[in-house]
Every structure is written in structure tokens, then in C-alpha cells.
Structure 1
Amino acid sequence: MTSIEGSVVLVTGANGGIGTAFVEAALARGAAKVYATARTPREWSDDRVVPLALDVTDAASIAAVVEAAPDVTILINNAGANTPTPGILSHTDDEIRANVETNFFGPLFLARAYAPLLSAQGGGTAIIDIHSALSWFAVAGIYSATKAALWSATNSLRLELQPAGVQVVGVHVGYVDTAMAAGVTDAKTSPVDLVSDVFDATEAGEHEVLADETSRQVRSGLSAPLEALYPQLARG
């Protein structure tokens, strides 16, 4: 398990709704320092927040952040990208590459860069990866594919880092009440509630967070026949 109190947290995508909630919740739980990263970082009112520029798709940017913030004890891979419409065949090569670079390679390479530093601390450190219920439900095309890839990588990292005492937490959630889901009329999870659940699970030593009913339902359906998850495949 990993305590938020006294920790040094790095949040990617800190300017967004979920990222901001992570920064604020970490401060409320007594974090000693929070590195709030974004491509264009903003100012924060709390002196414990250190804004840093980070483009998770750029290797040099990742290296610069690791050099500037070597004291991190909790890495939160929150930054993500989406396409305006679902699908794979309907998108350009550049759109697909952008999703893969942001949603998969970015958090993977950042985790790899921080793994030696987190492992060297002898426990009490963590990596938190924000997946999606769509990791298990392929209706969002390339977005689902990249989140599924990140879920698999998170599972692999968990096994490799467990002997060093690094906790790896995978987070699954459906719609969250942020700008990205502004046009959605279905039920949405509050970013504050999501982050509270994630930090509670992290401090309890858990490996996975199913943050809403959508995630729980989709997870439970993975063992069913494929047609149960995708009824459009059922033969008439």
C-alpha cells in the first residue's frame, strides 16, 4: 500500500478535469509536493504544486521531466487523447498514431523511465494508470484499442515491479463529468469521486479500481460468450 500523506506525486494531464482533481486531492491528503504536468502548464495557488511542461509523446520531454522531478513517489498516468468519432477504419494514419502515442506509448515510456527511481526507494511507491471501461469494450475503435493495450502493459508492469515494492494500480471508469464528455447524456462520474476512489484503493493496497457500474458490468461480462458483449454479432 502507498500513503498519499507525505508523498511526492506527479500527475500527467494536470490541466484537465480529472488531472486537476488528482492535484487537489493529493494536496488535501497531505502530499508534500505535486508535480502538475501538461504540454502548457498553468499556475497553481498552492506552493506545494510545481508546474512542469510535459509532452508524453516526446522522449526528450519525458527525460527532462524525470531529471527535473527525480523524487517522485507516486506517478499518475492520466493524460489521454481521443478521436471525435469512434472507429479504426474511418480514421487517418496520423489520428491513429496520435492516439497510440498519447494513450499507450506515453504512459508506458514514462513508467519505464520512473521504474528504477521508484524501485530504488524500497516500497511505498506507486504507479497509477487511468484506463477506461472501454479497455474491455471495443466500441470506441482506436481509443478502445489503445486503452486495452495500456491495461495489458499495466498488468505486466505490476508483475515486474511487485518484487521491488512498487504498487501498480489500474483504473477503469466509464463516462466522467469533464469537458471530454460534455455532450454525453448518460450517467457520469464526478472527477472528485473518481479520484477519491482511486486514492482510497491505492492506500488500501489494491491493484485495480472499477470506479462505476459500467466498468463493473463490462468486467463481469468478459467471461461470457462474445455475442453477450456485442449482441450485433449474434446470428438472427
Structure 2
Amino acid sequence: MTEIEGAVALVTGGQRGLGRAFVDELLRRGASKVYATARRPVAGADPRVVPLALEVTDPDSVAAVAGVAGDVGIVVNNAGVLHPAPLLTADIDDVRATFETNVIGPLRIAQTFAPILAANGGGALVDIHSVLSWVAGGAAYGASKAAFWSLTNSLRLELAGQGTQVVGVHLGFADTDMVKGIIAEKISPAGVAEAVLDGVAKGELEVLVDDLTRQVKAALSGPVENLAVRIR
């Protein structure tokens, strides 16, 4: 388990949507400082929140953030993009950008911050996946989240020796700007952050946020044709 009270955390994509909910919940639980990243960060009123510019697809940008945030004990890999076009008609550049941001970006964060977490006692790496990691129909976004899930499971093994808790998070659609054009039942970002940080505090390695996600995971042993969803 990872102690949140008094901890220093980093949340990628931490100035809007789900990322902002994580920042708020970390502070509510007593985190002493939270680095909240964005491509174009904006300063806020709370002195415990440190805004940092970050582009997860840019190695120099990630290195610059690590140079500032050397006291981090919790890293939330939250930044992501969504291109909903069907795979057969999607612009390949959009597909490539999706994987660069949703897969390579989080891996770059993990590689860069692993030694920092080790130096600070192990801490926690929290990776935000999706129920679309497990079902077809999520286009490039779903494919990237499936890859991210696999990446997280391997990172958990590789980081075990340094005592880092690696938490994989799966959820349906949170009610954020990124998915405002998608017709689906949505859950509150605050509720997601609360459930995830409960899991971090309890030492869990996987958090299934909502009933839909729990139902889909339970169905993984069934026929593959039953694992499908359409983004509308």
C-alpha cells in the first residue's frame, strides 16, 4: 500500500477532466504537493498545486519535468487522446498519434520516473486504462488502451523489486470534455478518483471502477464475439 497523506504526486493531464479530479482528491487526502501537468499549464490559487508544462510524446519535455519533480512518490499516468474514427477509415497519422500519446507516452513517463520512485521509497505508479482495453469497437483508442494494459502488467513485474506499487485502472466513460460527443452512460470524475485512490491506499494492483467494467472483465473467459461495444 502507498501512503497518500503527506505524499508528493504527479498527475499527467492534471489540469482538466479526470486528471483534475485526481489532483483534487489527492489534496483532499492530504498530499503535500501535486504536480499537475498540461501542454499549456495555467497557475491556480492553491500553493500545493505546481503546474508544469508536459508533452508526453516529447522526451525532452518529460526529462524537464523529471528534473523539477524529483521528490515524487506517486505518479498518475492519466494523459491521453481519443480519435474515434473506425480503424479501416481512420487517418493513419491519427492512429500513430494515439499510440504515441496513450502507450509510448506513459511508458516514457514510467521509464523516467522509475528511478525517482525508487529513490523516494518505491511509491506508486497508477496507469489509467479503460474498459475498452478488453472489448472490440473502441477504434485506435481501444487498441491503444489494450496495449497500455499489457504494458502495465509487465511494468508491475519489472518494478516489483524496487517496491513500487503498480496500479492498473479500468473504467467506463468518465464525464469529461474528451468524451462529451459520445453517447454513453458516464461516471463522475470525482467518483473515479475516489475509487482509484482507495485502491492505492489499500495496496491493490488493479481497480475496476464501475459495474460495467466488472461485468466485462468477468466475461473475458467467454466467447470473443461477446466482447464488443460501439462508440457513437
TM interval, shorter chain, is: over 0.9
CA shift for structure 1 position 230: 4.4
Q: Give 3-state SS (helix, strand or coil) of 1:139's partner.
A: coil
Q: Which residue of 2 aligns with 1:28?
A: 28
Q: Which residue of 2 aligns with 1:234?
A: none
Task: Give the whole-Å Cα distance in 2 for the aligned partners of 1:181 and 1:35.
Answer: 24
Q: Which residue of 2 aligns with 1:53?
A: 53
Say if 2:136 is the partner of 1:154.
Answer: no
Say if 2:78 is the partner of 1:78.
Answer: yes
Say if 2:126 is the partner of 1:128.
Answer: yes
Task: Give the whole-Å Cα distance in 2 for the aligned partners of 1:220 and 1:51.
Answer: 39
CA shift for structure 1 position 186: 2.9
Q: In 2, are the aligned partners of 1:86 and 1:139 still within 8 Å (CA)?
A: no
Q: Where in structure 2 are the equivalents of 1:1-40 lying within 5 Å?
A: 1-40=1-40
Q: Which residue of 1 aligns with 2:89?
A: 90
Paired AA for residue 21 in structure 2: A
Which of residues 195, 198, 223 in structure 1 aligns to 2:196?
Answer: 198
Say if 2:171 is the partner of 1:173.
Answer: yes
Task: Give the whole-Å Cα distance in 1 for the aligned partners of 2:11 and 2:228.
Answer: 35
Q: Which runs of 5+ in 1 are unaligned?
A: 232-236
Say if 2:201 is the partner of 1:218.
Answer: no
Q: In 1, are the aligned partners of 2:73 and 2:121 still within 8 Å (CA)?
A: no
Say if 2:64 is the partner of 1:64.
Answer: yes
What is the count of residue pairs matched by the alignment?
A: 229
TM-score, structure 1 length as denominator? 0.93
Any idea what the Cα deviations from partners look like across 1:150-186, whole Å, max 9, x if unmatched? 0001000111111211000011001111112223443
CA shift for structure 1 position 187: 2.0
Aligned in 2, Cα 1:230/1:75: closer, same or farther, shift over 3 Å? Answer: closer
Any idea what the Cα deviations from partners look like across 1:95-146, whole Å, max 9, x if unmatched? 01110111000011111111111123333x0000000000011211111111
CA shift for structure 1 position 225: 1.7
Q: Give 3-state SS (helix, strand or coil) of 1:138's partner.
A: coil
Paired AA for residue 40 in structure 2: T
Q: Which residue of 2 aligns with 1:163?
A: 161
CA shift for structure 1 position 3: 1.2
Paired AA for residue 172 in structure 1: H
Q: In 1, are the aligned partners of 2:118 and 2:163 still within 8 Å (CA)?
A: yes
Q: Where in structure 2 are the equivalents of 1:97-136 lying within 5 Å?
A: 97-123=96-122, 125-136=123-134
TM-score, structure 2 length as denominator? 0.95
Kindly report the root-mean-square deviation, in angstroms, between the aligned alpha carbons of the 2 structures.
Answer: 1.3
